[in-house]
Structure 1
């Protein structure tokens, strides 16, 4: 579990499509440097979010660490597009007893979104983003939470028909995350509010009936009540 409060920015040392070392696990791997601030209590197997993606540490030094990347991770996130030297957002998994400053972030990316507009306003910046999966728009609401490349942000506006939403980034945040280094056309990782997803899942199941069989769900219950009323009338 994460909070969406970025602890530091690291840089890509190497992205390997087929890492045959023990730490690479015969798959894709990513090595990150500049992570000294978050590695003082690191252990093999720990979770660190890179651009909002929860990944497992397979190797580390005082300043660098390596993680493995599954095919699902590469297909759903922007991590496969990273180049040597690119900055990335880093956050350790939440420790018990620490102050919770963002929102509940799982580190499980839902999809990517494309930056389609960047508009400065005084010392802040507006970003308009188009979601690759329109099905996510049900869980993106004005003034709700969203994690963009792992950064906990507040949604400003949402346009369901055109599949975009906006966020505004204050000056402080701009200097502590990777977003300002990106341009129109760049892809960012998106994780919508997990609480909203659970509510949608539960309410949809109740309304439709969890099994789809007759006799389940609110609609079926209404039908039974109507039938009883009609039978009494006759």
Structure 2
């Protein structure tokens, strides 16, 4: 579990590709004092497992599933990566509940300044997920916990403060950039629970018909 508070911007040092599988070598410094083989690390918001750990970096495997559903496939040597270690149980919860499971990618439509803020408009590649992105709700963009400023059926807007822009990879995105998006886990679970109850209720109502009652001696 993560919080969406980026600890460090890492640099992609190496990429080994085999079809849709990849091994990424990532240079980092600030987070290396407490990384071990097998640890979970969010890389651009995608939960990956450290398979090698050195003094100045670590390596992670990217599976075909992750390759197809994130922007990691677009990475090149030298790419800047948002990094966050898994949250400690006694840590401060400064962002929101982030699993590190990208629901989809999105394309940056435009970037504009509004006084001390930077507004970023993003179009998700899965319109069916729009119901989980609501104004003043939480969303994770490339591993960064952000608040949705505006949203409609096609796109949403986030407002970035200067500190977040300077301390994350968002400082390098442009119109056309592809970002990873993870919707709020609470919204997804609530929707799944309500959908399940509705489906069961619908099934029960469809099963109670006059013919069924007559067949069982009720009418």
Return the TM-score normalized by structure 1. Answer: 0.86
Residue of 153, 158, 170 corresponding to 1:167: 158
Deviations along 1:30-63, one digit per CA (max 9) or x if unpaired, are 1111x22112121111000000000000001121
Deviations along 1:147-186, one digit per CA (max 9) or x if unpaired, are 00000000011111xx100000001111111012011001
Q: Distance in 2 between matches of 1:55 and 1:109?
A: 11
Residue of 152, 161, 177 corresponding to 2:145: 152
**Displacement of 1:141 after TM fit?**
0.5
| Alignment correspondent of 2:34 | 41
Question: Is the CA contact 2:11–2:79 (under 8 Å) kept in the aligned structure 1?
Answer: yes
SS of residue matched to 2:95: coil
Written as runs of structure 1 = structure 2, the 5 A alignment for 1:17-96 is: 17-18=17-18, 27-33=21-27, 35-96=28-89
SS of residue matched to 1:65: strand
| Alignment correspondent of 2:183 | 192
| Alignment correspondent of 2:110 | 117
Written as runs of structure 1 = structure 2, the 5 A alignment for 1:135-150 is: 135-150=128-143
**Number of aligned pairs?**
212
SS of residue matched to 2:82: strand
TM-aligned CA distance change 1:207 to 1:60, over 3 Å: same
**Displacement of 1:122 after TM fit?**
1.6
**Displacement of 1:18 after TM fit?**
3.0
Question: Is the CA contact 2:21–2:67 (under 8 Å) kept in the aligned structure 1?
Answer: no
Correspondence 1:4 to 2:10: no
Q: Distance in 2 between matches of 1:81 and 1:123?
A: 31
**Displacement of 1:207 after TM fit?**
1.1
Unmatched tracts of structure 2, length 5 or more: 214-218
Unmatched tracts of structure 1, length 5 or more: 20-25, 229-233
Following superposition, which runs of at least 4 residues in structure 1 exceed 6 angstroms of deviation? none
Deviations along 1:117-171, one digit per CA (max 9) or x if unpaired, are 10111221000000100111011110000000000000011111xx100000001
